[in-house]
């Protein structure tokens, strides 16, 4: 097993129940403009794209927010660590970027790199004039927010540039990523382990807490993709950009930013991590213990609630004998007036 079953490595599954509820909510909205946003929308198959637009039954404008593709390699692998990924970064890249890798669990990265295919798929349904590509560029951090303000007819400056300033979405350092991969690797394969428990204890209690609260030391190295992977993704993205240029879609920003080379590790295999900072180990341990306490407390409360409910069902109404005063009252009420 290379990752947790049914996790971030798996194909996105769209159930009609939640979708129908969302469509109903859109139909009831009094606003003239409604925004629906999810990364999985880009990966919907052709038939689901058509259903998506048909069910909404209103004008649809599709916005793609695209980033430098090579710069996403490290974060893409890190996301799989949250689902139990055991492959090393280079091994995962070799399989994900290999020829014919468009199918299976590792195919998601390869498919996401086919930018022109994703854009063309939606353009065929809504029309290229209803497609906007926003190139996310560090040199203009306000571009994304100002573009959405215009599309949604919001006051300029309403959307904050940096949100709340928290670091919960930061990338892992190289040592953090190596540590979590080794933890994944050491966990036994067993069908009995609860995925829900895995998410609560490990992903939320350990990984998310580290990313939200820990500040890596200044000497902790960044996780960089190997040079060969960067080179391949840059060339692939350049071809995708040239295809997009030929499409009559709206583009905000410079498309060449998507294929700009980024910093890379000159070694095919990174140096092995044999030691981890004690504050990292302590935070992971305490985070999982606190999460486990919360899970146990929730289990106990649920168990008590079930026992009370069962006890209430078993209680039979007791026969109540009327008191003397009640009997006299009933007798008085039953007498005929003189």
Block residue for tokens 């490290």: 74
Dihedral sign, Cα of residue 160, residue 161, residue 164, residue 170? positive
**Can you give the pLDDT of all 338 residues of the chain as single tens digits?**
344 444 444 444 545 788 899 999 999 998 888 999 998 898 899 999 999 999 999 999 999 999 999 999 999 999 999 988 999 999 999 999 985 555 555 588 998 999 999 999 999 999 999 999 999 998 898 999 999 999 999 999 998 866 544 444 789 999 999 999 999 888 766 545 577 778 888 888 999 999 999 999 999 999 999 999 999 999 999 999 999 999 999 999 999 999 999 999 999 888 888 899 999 999 999 999 988 888 667 666 676 767 666 666 666 665 555 555 545 545 555 555 55
Calpha distance 277→255 (Å, rounded):
40
Radius of gyration of the chain (CA): 28
E-strand stretches of 84-124: none
Burial class (CB in 10 A: 0-12, 13-18, 19+), 230: buried
pLDDT of residue 104: 52
| CATH number for region 1-170+224-267 | 3.40.50.300
Tens-place pLDDT, residues 136-185: 998 898 999 999 999 999 999 998 866 544 444 789 999 999 999 999 88
Distant-in-sequence, close-in-space partners of 277: CB < 8 Å, separation ≥ 6? 175, 217, 220
CA nearest 26: which of 38, 39, 35?
A: 35
In tens, the pLDDT along 60-95 reads: 999 999 999 999 999 999 999 998 899 999 999 999
Give the residue range(s) of CATH 3.40.50.300 domains in the chain: 1-170+224-267
Beta bridge partners of 251: 133
């Amino acid at each position: 097993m290379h990752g947790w079953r049914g996790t971030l490595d798996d194909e996105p599954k769209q159930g009609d129940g939640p979708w129908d509820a969302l469509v109903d909510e859109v139909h009831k909205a009094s606003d003239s403009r409604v925004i629906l946003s999810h990364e999985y929308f880009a990966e919907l198959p052709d038939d689901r794209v058509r259903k998506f637009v048909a069910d909404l039954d209103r004008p649809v404008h599709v916005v793609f927010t695209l980033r430098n593709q090579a710069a996403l390699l490290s974060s893409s692998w890190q996301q799989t660590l949250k689902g139990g990924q055991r492959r090393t970064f280079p091994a995962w890249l070799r399989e994900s970027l290999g020829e014919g890798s468009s199918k299976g669990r590792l195919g998601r990265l390869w498919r996401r790199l086919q930018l022109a295919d994703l854009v063309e798929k939606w353009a065929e349904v809504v029309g290229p004039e209803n497609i906007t590509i926003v190139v996310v560029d560090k040199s203009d951090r306000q571009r994304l927010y100002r573009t959405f303000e215009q599309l949604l007819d919001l006051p300029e400056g309403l959307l904050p540039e940096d949100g709340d300033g928290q670091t919960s979405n930061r990338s892992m350092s190289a040592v953090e990523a190596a540590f979590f991969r080794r933890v994944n690797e050491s966990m036994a394969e067993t069908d009995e382990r609860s995925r829900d428990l895995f998410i609560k204890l490990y992903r939320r209690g350990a990984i998310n807490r580290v990313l939200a609260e820990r500040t890596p030391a200044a000497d902790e190295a960044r996780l960089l993709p190997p040079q060969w992977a960067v080179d391949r993704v840059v060339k692939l993205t350049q071809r995708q950009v040239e295809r997009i240029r030929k499409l009559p879609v709206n583009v905000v920003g410079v498309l060449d930013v998507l294929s700009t080379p980024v910093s890379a590790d000159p070694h095919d295999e990174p140096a092995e991590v044999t030691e981890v900072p004690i504050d990292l180990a302590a935070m992971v341990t305490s985070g999982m213990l606190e999460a486990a306490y919360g899970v146990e407390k929730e289990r106990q409360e649920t168990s008590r609630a079930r026992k009370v409910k069962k006890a209430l069902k078993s209680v039979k109404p007791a026969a109540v004998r009327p008191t003397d005063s009640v009997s006299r009252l009933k007798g008085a009420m039953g007498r005929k007036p003189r």
